[in-house]
């Protein structure tokens, strides 16, 4: 038997690891499907995604105690928004307010606005209700409601963490400017989605 | 060198044979036996695993001396609940109480609440009894219930001990962010519990 040349063997082994059949890892498991859809829900909506990163960024920019008050209270207030959605209470302008959250938080970061903690908590809390409402509406239809809720809460929390980790750069002058630039970029994304949600952009 | 090349060729063939099969993540039908089936059962139920981890972290906030009580009380209650399931039907309030415990434990952890020892032991006992009762329900006639419940209890003991020990070690590390990280995790658990509890009231048929 002729053994193939040495470099081709690891390459062949590597290529053979690419599954030819689809990996149906979620077959018959509501937990996995629910978890997956929950994790992806905040991440696949750029308007949600930038707003959640902005919460962490703003918390880091404001410093203690906002850096930990906002990420701890946000999921709890978001749950209240989810309950409102579950109860079938109509909440007007959900998508525009979600987009507005990105624009507003982005501007607050870009302009380095430092309100009292309770004002910051109220601003973030109002937006949290609308984000929770948007996620909570999907809950009854989820393959596994608990897994779906775990997925989107964890994804939301990790997006806050991303914002906090980026926001740690405020300790350096150049980093503080970069954080403000991130805020401006988030504001632009929020503005785009706000205009799209009210029909100005298609 | 030639032997090494042959080994690589054999490994390539083995990988080619093994890799393209579809992966099925759920472990219920893997024929691991009743003991391991029982051990895996609560680990694949987020309604149980979530409050276990939250309870362990909450116990860690009470200090090592008090946390030890949870490691004793919880598995014993889990075993007692499983044994009771052999005689009693599932309580109708089980799902609501279970999710209520998720919300309550998560909220207590988010607040880093200092609980009196009887409350901590009581919470561990109620949770263990309920989950044990739920684990023992609906088993097929072919399942060895003793092995299944022993597996579930062993899993409960192992998770609670490891999670409590891990949380205690985590809290003893350097940095003021550590308790905040655990509290943030508690707020995540509470948020899940509050929403799923709401779903139980809004649409019991869907959630149940």
Listed in sequence order, the residues at least 6 apart from A175 whose beta carbon sits closer than 8 Å to its beta carbon are A168, A169
Residues B50 and B186: their CA atoms lie apart, in Å, by 10
Which residues in chain B touch residue A9, judged by CB atoms under 8 angstroms apart?
A: 5, 8-9, 12
- Which residues span the domain enclosing B40? 32-207
**Mean pLDDT (chain B, rounded):** 84
Going residue by residue through chain A, which has 202 residues, state the pLDDT in tens, using 9 for 90 and above: 555 555 566 666 665 555 544 444 434 457 788 888 888 888 888 888 999 999 999 999 988 888 888 888 888 999 999 899 888 888 888 889 989 999 999 999 999 999 998 999 999 999 999 988 988 887 777 778 888 889 889 999 999 999 999 998 888 999 999 999 999 999 999 999 999 988 877 6
Task: Write down the pLDDT at residue B26.
Answer: 41
Nearest CA in chain A to B25: A25
Residue of A145, A153, A154, A168 for testing the chain B interface, max B β-carbons within 10 Å = A145
Does B185 fall in a domain?
yes
What sign does the CA torsion over A25, A28, A31, A34 have?
A: positive
Considering only CA atoms, which of B137, B159, B157, B160 is closest in space to residue B148? B137
Q: Which residue has the tokens 């809290």?
A: B171
CA distance B113 to chain A (A): 14
Task: Write down the pLDDT at residue B23.
Answer: 43
Nearest CA in chain A to B190: A76
A16 vs B15, B21, B46: nearest CB: B15
Q: Which residue has the tokens 């962010």?
A: B177
Nearest CA in chain B to A160: B184
Cβ <8 Å between A13 and B192: no
Which residues in chain A touch residue B99, judged by CB atoms under 8 angstroms apart?
A: 146
Residues A38 and A156: their CA atoms lie apart, in Å, by 10
Residues B28 and A29: their CA atoms lie apart, in Å, by 10
Domain ranges of chain A: 30-197
Which residues in chain B touch residue A25, judged by CB atoms under 8 angstroms apart?
A: 22-25
Considering only CA atoms, which of A91, A56, A79 is closest in space to residue A152? A79
B9 vs A9, A35, A140: nearest CB: A9
B8 close to A (CB below 8 A): yes
Nearest CA in chain A to B9: A9
- Number of structural domains found in chain B: 1
Considering only CA atoms, which of A95, A115, A94, A90 is closest in space to residue A105? A115
Determine what percent of chain B is predicted with pLDDT higher than 90: 53
Does B4 fall in a domain?
no
B23 vs A13, A23, A28: nearest CB: A23
A157 vs B184, B202, B206: nearest CB: B184
Structure tokens, A107: 């501007």
B57 close to A (CB below 8 A): no
Structure tokens, A178: 């970069």
Does B22 fall in a domain?
no
| pLDDT tens column, B35-71 | 888 888 888 888 899 999 999 999 999 999 999 999 9
Task: Write down the pLDDT at residue B19.
Answer: 47
Does B43 fall in a domain?
yes
- Is the complex ipTM higher than 0.85? no
| pLDDT tens column, B65-122 | 999 999 999 999 999 999 998 888 888 888 899 999 999 999 999 999 999 999 999 9
Does B190 fall in a domain?
yes
Which residues in chain A touch residue B6, judged by CB atoms under 8 angstroms apart?
A: 3
Structure tokens, A26: 């979620």
Which residues in chain B touch residue A88, judged by CB atoms under 8 angstroms apart?
A: 202
Considering only CA atoms, which of B35, B36, B14, B17 is closest in space to residue B27? B36
């Amino acid at each position: 038997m002729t053994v193939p040349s040495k470099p081709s063997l690891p390459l062949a082994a590597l290529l053979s690891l690419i599954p030819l059949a689809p990996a149906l890892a979620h077959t018959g498991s509501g937990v996995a499907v629910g978890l997956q859809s929950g994790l992806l829900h905040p991440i696949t909506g750029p308007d949600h995604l930038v707003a959640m990163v902005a919460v962490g960024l703003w918390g880091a920019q404001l410093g203690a105690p906002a850096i930990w008050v906002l990420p701890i209270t946000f999921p709890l207030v978001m749950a209240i928004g989810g309950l409102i959605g579950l109860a079938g209470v109509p909440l007007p302008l959900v998508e525009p307010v979600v987009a507005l959250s990105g624009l507003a938080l982005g501007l607050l970061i870009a302009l380095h606005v430092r309100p009292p903690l309770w004002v910051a908590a109220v601003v973030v809390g109002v937006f949290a209700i609308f984000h929770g409402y948007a996620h909570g509406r999907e809950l009854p239809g989820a393959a596994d409601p608990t897994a779906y809720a775990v997925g989107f809460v964890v994804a939301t929390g990790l997006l806050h963490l991303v914002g906090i980790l980026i926001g740690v750069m405020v300790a350096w002058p150049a980093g503080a400017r970069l954080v403000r630039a991130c805020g401006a970029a988030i504001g632009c994304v929020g503005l785009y989605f706000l205009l799209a949600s009210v029909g100005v952009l298609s | 060198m030639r032997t090494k090349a042959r080994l690589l060729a054999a490994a390539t063939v083995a990988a080619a044979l093994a890799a393209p099969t579809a992966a099925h993540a759920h472990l219920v039908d893997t024929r691991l036996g009743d003991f391991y089936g029982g051990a895996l059962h609560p680990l694949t139920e987020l309604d149980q695993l979530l409050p276990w981890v939250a309870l362990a972290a909450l116990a860690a906030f009470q200090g090592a001396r008090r946390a030890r009580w949870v490691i004793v009380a919880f598995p014993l209650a889990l075993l007692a609940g499983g044994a009771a399931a052999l005689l009693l039907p599932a309580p109708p309030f089980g799902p609501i109480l279970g999710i209520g415990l998720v919300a309550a434990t998560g909220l207590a952890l988010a607040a880093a609440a200092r609980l009196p020892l009887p409350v901590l032991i009581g919470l561990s006992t109620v949770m263990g009894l309920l989950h044990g009762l739920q684990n023992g329900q609906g088993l097929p006639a072919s399942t060895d219930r003793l092995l299944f419940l022993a597996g579930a209890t062993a899993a409960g003991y192992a998770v609670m001990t490891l999670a409590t020990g891990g949380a205690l070690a985590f809290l003893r590390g350097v940095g003021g962010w550590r308790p905040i990280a655990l509290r943030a995790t508690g707020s995540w658990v509470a948020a899940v519990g509050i929403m799923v509890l709401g779903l139980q009231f809004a649409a019991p048929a869907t959630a149940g």
